[in-house]
């Protein structure tokens, strides 16, 4: 990597880290002051709450920190005449921004990757401490449809991946074919293993003299393949749980043909995978519009304007995501399309300064 690229990258990284850590501490501090009376007295829970609050803040703080980083580093280079010196040496605007852009893109990819992990549940765990709710709280009295079957679940333990009391109604349109009862079931190998299952099969023709009910008992019955515990928990209308990228994708695959609304899962999927990339692309747009010299511009005013533009853009995207979550607009228009528009304009500017 050339010297100017290393210098631009280091200056951007330093500015980003300063802004990111400052906003993280500000978010955690405000949250602690707001919820101080509700935080448990246990020191362990207090430390855990602070850590979870910091993780929760990342989704809000990271995107704007990536953009603020380029504003600060760029203004500093303009004030010291370093940017003009780079241009005087024949270095193009694209060459100066390419390293910070890829650094922002890499950080965003790391954030998206973390959303495949329990990192995505940080907000749920944080609120669980405040509300005194067990992280491993059971989901009770769920009645769902999956793979043409209606399923009643008395109690689901999502962490242990087990069920207490499950009833499966196998229905063909309006006709009931069979009913399966089991007092316990365990999720393994992407399917449910029903323990000591009792199967009652109804006759196809109810007529005197024909075969009646067929009763069967199986020590182990493997069924409901792909019906994951997280999908069950998320589908329960009484549960407000966070979704990781994998959970959202599984939920959409599980219920897309069951007549259930998958809008919330779709919004979560787009929010975790596509929406974060607006920051690196907005970084490019802001960079190409920032002044190259402080001789003809008020740098303090320019910094304020572009910080304000960043916050307004982030706020608009956030509001559109909320509209998508409530079903006012479809997720593709509220989340995907704005990011595509920002990307298109950023590529246009990149090509124009080639």
Per-residue pLDDT of 68-114, as tens digits, reads 999 999 999 888 888 888 888 888 888 889 999 999 999 999 999 99
The residue among 190, 216, 238 that closes a domain is: 238
- On the question of pLDDT at 238 being above 50, the answer is no
Rounded to 10 degrees, the C-alpha dihedral 245/9/349/280 comes to 20
pLDDT for 309:
94
Residue 255 maps to a domain: no
The whole-angstrom separation of Cα 194 and Cα 278 is 46
Instruction: Indicate whether 243 belongs to any domain.
Output: no
The residues with which 222 forms a beta bridge, in sequence order, are 193
Long-range contacts of 245-253 (CB under 8 A, 24+ apart): 245/112, 245/115, 245/116, 245/120, 245/269, 245/272, 245/273, 246/116, 247/120, 248/272, 250/226, 253/226
Q: Strand, helix or coil at 214?
A: strand
**Same domain for 156 and 88:** no
Beta bridge partners of 199: 180, 216
The answer as to whether 208 is a domain residue is: yes
Contacts of 115 (CB under 8 A, 6+ apart): 244, 245, 272, 273
For residue 203, name the pLDDT band (cuts at 50, 70, 90): confident
**Do 103 and 14 share a structural domain?**
yes
Report the alpha-carbon distance of residue 13 to residue 69 in Å, rounded: 7
On whether both 298 and 233 belong to a single domain, the answer is no
Q: Are residues 140 and 113 in the same domain?
A: no
Alpha-carbon radius of gyration of the chain = 27
State yes or no: pLDDT of 207 exceeds 70.
no
How far is it, in rounded angstroms, from Cα 217 to Cα 115? 42
Boundary of a domain, candidates 238, 260, 291: 238
Are residues 191 and 284 both part of a single domain?
no
11 plus 97 within the same structural domain: yes
In a domain? residue 36 = yes
Domain assignment present for residue 299? The answer is: yes
Instruction: Label residue 271 by pLDDT band (50, 70, 90).
Output: very high
Both structure tokens of 111: 């954030």
Highest-scoring range by mean pLDDT, 5-14, 33-42, 241-250, 285-294: 5-14
Is residue 343 situated within a structural domain?
Answer: yes
Do residues 85 and 13 both lie within one domain? yes
Q: Which of 238, 257, 277 is the last residue of a domain?
A: 238
pLDDT-above-70 percentage for the chain: 92
Task: Band the pLDDT of 265: cuts 50, 70, 90.
Answer: confident
Contact present, 28 and 115 (Cβ < 8 Å)? no
Enclosing domain of residue 205: 136-238
Mean pLDDT for all residues in the chain: 86
Q: Do 159 and 57 share a domain, yes or no?
A: no
For residue 206, pLDDT over 70 is answered with no
Give me the mean pLDDT over the 295-322 stretch: 89
pLDDT of 239 higher than 50: no
Q: Give per-residue pLDDT as tens, 130-176.
A: 876 655 556 777 888 887 788 888 888 877 788 989 999 988 777 88
Residues 110, 13 share a domain: yes
H helices of 274-298, where? Answer: 278-289
Sheet containing 149-157, strands listed edge to edge, beginning at the edge strand earlier in sequence: 139-146, 149-157, 162-172, 175-188, 191-201, 214-223
Distance from CA of residue 308 to its chain's centroid? 25
Say if residue 206 is in the same domain as residue 308: no
Top-confidence residue, 16 or 243:
16
| The pLDDT of residue 240 is above 60 | no
Tell me which of 160 and 307 has the higher pLDDT: 307
Counting the structural domains of the chain, the total is 2
In a domain, 298, yes or no: yes
Q: Does 23 share its domain with 102?
A: yes
Same domain, 14 and 93: yes
Q: Is residue 248 part of a domain?
A: no
């Amino acid at each position: 990597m050339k010297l100017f690229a290393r210098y631009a990258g280091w200056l951007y990284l330093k500015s980003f880290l300063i802004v990111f850590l400052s906003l993280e501490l500000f978010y955690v501090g405000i949250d602690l002051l707001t919820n101080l009376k509700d935080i448990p007295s246990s020191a362990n829970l207090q430390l855990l709450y602070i850590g979870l609050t910091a993780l929760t803040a990342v989704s809000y703080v990271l995107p704007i920190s990536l953009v603020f980083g380029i504003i600060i580093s760029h203004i500093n280079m303009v004030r010291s005449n370093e940017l003009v010196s780079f241009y005087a040496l024949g270095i193009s605007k694209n060459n100066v921004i390419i390293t910070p852009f890829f650094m922002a893109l890499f950080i965003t990819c790391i954030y998206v990757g973390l959303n495949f992990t329990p990192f995505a549940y940080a907000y749920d765990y944080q609120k669980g401490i405040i509300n005194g709710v067990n992280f491993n709280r059971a989901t009770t009295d769920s009645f769902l449809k999956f793979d043409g079957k209606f399923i009643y679940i008395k109690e689901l333990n999502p962490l242990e991946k087990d069920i207490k009391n499950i009833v499966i109604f196998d229905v063909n349109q309006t006709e009931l074919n069979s009913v399966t009862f089991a007092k316990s079931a365990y999720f393994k190998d992407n399917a449910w293993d029903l323990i000591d299952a009792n199967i009652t099969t109804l006759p196809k023709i109810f007529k005197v003299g024909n075969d009646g009910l067929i009763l069967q008992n199986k020590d182990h019955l493997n069924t409901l393949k792909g019906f994951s515990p997280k999908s069950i928990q998320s589908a329960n209308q009484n549960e407000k749980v966070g979704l990781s990228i994998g959970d959202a994708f599984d939920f959409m695959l599980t219920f897309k043909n069951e007549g259930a609304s998958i809008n919330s899962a779709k919004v979560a999927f787009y929010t975790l995978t596509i929406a974060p990339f607006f920051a690196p692309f907005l970084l490019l747009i802001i960079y190409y519009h920032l002044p190259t010299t402080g001789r003809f511009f008020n740098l303090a005013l320019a910094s304020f304007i572009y910080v304000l533009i960043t916050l307004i853009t982030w706020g608009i995207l956030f509001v559109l995501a909320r509209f998508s979550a409530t079903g006012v607009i479809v997720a593709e228009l509220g989340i995907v399309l704005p990011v595509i528009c920002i990307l298109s304009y950023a590529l246009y500017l990149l090509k124009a300064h080639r």
